Amino acid sequence: MWMWQHDHFFDHGCLMVGFLLLSISGWVFDITSGEIADFPRFGVNYGKVANNLPPPTDVVTILKSICISKSKLYDTDPLVLQTFRNTGISFIVGTTNEDLRFLINPTLAMAWVQENIARYLPATYIIGIVVGNEIFSGSDTTLMKQVLPAMQNIYAALESMNLHQQVAVSTAHSFSTLKTSYPPSAGAFSDSIANAYMRPVLEFLSRTGSPFLINVYPYFAYKDNPSAVSLEYVLFQDNPGVLDENTQLRYYNMFDAQMDAVYSAISELGFDNITLLVSETGWPSRGDADEPGASVANARLYHDNLVRHVTSMRGTPLRPNVSLDVYLFALFNEDMKPGPTSERNYGLFQPDGTPVYSFRSFRQQQFTSVSSSAVAFSMFHRFPLELGLLYLLIVYVAVY
């Protein structure tokens, strides 16, 4: 089965932590299950719908400064892919929705892969291709019919070049493809797409071992109904939780509830072996008057608490101890995005490279997770030297 690959670590802090983690067999031991869990990895969406963004060389520096080694593009921008050669930063790249009309032709799909993927490998670390974005939540059935053939043709082209084991092929879905998401155990895809489109796509993902990409935004649920949806619930803060009567599982944040609704929808169609990847999630730092909750304070809380939650390795109530790859949306505020003010204010950074809000780096968040008392206690007798060195490293990085 195709697996998302481990990335390189960056700067002295990231590199040293990577070395120590690898010295502990490259894995984190989960005391609750007695199993070994893959350490979760965060990436960021590198959107470019703006006219004032820094050059890609500066983006490399920004990503390394926060220990991000995974990024996602919505195209195959040659300048970006060339600039990121030999940086160790991995990329999921994308086709535009308009590209699908010619990617359904096997010959043209082969040419596209040669021009946009193969020629950059292995210097540029491309790990996945997203064939279209949120197509099944729209109304264009012609486009919907093109998704799977395009995916199959791209995969066949990769296979012919012996690249199919290192470059995955999938498509990204909006959470709105679900007709039911509450309770999470009742999650189900819309009737119009479930059997006609989603089931064949899931069959492809199951066969190739590629992940199911889902864009989840708890913010939207709060924005649409702030009187009924608790802000604490969507921001991972203390709250009484929501009980799923079907499973008797209690949910303390909407992110987990949304993820489990997707797991349930996939299971309803007969698939239990497909990995989820969060291809987008985020919170706006500004919004219009009719966009409650869009603020710097809430964006910072969502970011920090999401990272803390995912790196805790708890998984979700329905899928405990299952780690996730999560791609935050987005790296920059993008001034040319249409729609309400919030659409232009999801970035971690301003275009000039200054943070929109202060946040703990991903290196610091990962230190917190790895050095938590529960994990440290469970691993002390197995790896006393490594954990002692890791503790000293945490102190060193915190000071310097």
- For the annotated catalytic residues, the residue numbers are 134, 280
Q: How far is CA 127 from CA 69, 120, 165, 284, 286, in A?
A: 12, 12, 9, 28, 33
Residues 349 and 359 sit within 8 Å (Cβ to Cβ): no
H/E stretch holding 250 reads: strand 249-251
The rounded distance, in Å, linking the Cα atoms of 184 and 241 is: 13
- Would you call 246 exposed, middle or buried from its count of C-beta atoms within 10 A (0-12, 13-18, 19+)? exposed
CB-based contacts of 373, cutoff 8 Å, min separation 6: none
**Crossing angle, helix 384-399 and helix 11-23, to 10 degrees?**
170
Residues 150 and 100 sit within 8 Å (Cβ to Cβ): yes
The rounded distance, in Å, linking the Cα atoms of 256 and 218 is: 10
H/E stretch holding 372 reads: none
Q: Strand pairing partners for 213? A: 172, 277
Backbone angles phi, psi at 349, to 5 degrees: -130, 150
The rounded distance, in Å, linking the Cα atoms of 155 and 2 is: 12
CB-based contacts of 6, cutoff 8 Å, min separation 6: 26, 41
Question: Hey, how many other C-beta atoms are within 10 angstroms of the C-beta on 208?
Answer: 20
SS3 218: helix
Q: Which of 130, 118, 62 is nearest to 92 (CA)?
A: 130
Residues 331 and 351 sit within 8 Å (Cβ to Cβ): no
H/E stretch holding 273 reads: none
The rounded distance, in Å, linking the Cα atoms of 111 and 222 is: 44
